[in-house]
Amino acid sequence: MTEIVFLRHGRALGTLEAGVKSDSERPLSPLGEKEARETAEHLKTAGFRAELIISSPYRRADSTAQILRVFFPEASSRKSSVIADGPADDMLEAVRSAAASAKSGVIIVGHQPLLGSIAAFLTGSAPFSLAPAGFIRISGSVNPGKSSLVEFYSPPAAKGPSL
Pairing of strands 147-153, 105-110: unpaired
Q: Mind listing the pLDDT tens digit for each residue in 110-149?
A: 999 999 999 999 999 999 999 999 999 999 888 899 999 9
pTM for the full model?
Answer: 0.94
Q: What is the DSSP letter of 101?
A: H
All structural domains of the chain = 3-153 (3.40.50.1240)
State the Cα–Cα distance between residues 77 and 54, nearest whole angstrom: 6
- Residues 6 or more apart whose CB falls under 8 angstroms from that of 7 comprise 39, 64, 68, 107, 108, 109, 110, 115, 130, 133, 134, 135
The answer to whether the beta carbons of residues 142 and 118 sit under 8 Å apart is no
Q: Mind listing the pLDDT tens digit for each residue in 3-59?
A: 999 999 999 999 999 999 999 999 999 999 999 999 999 999 999 999 999 999 999
113 cis-preceded (ω within 30 degrees of 0): yes
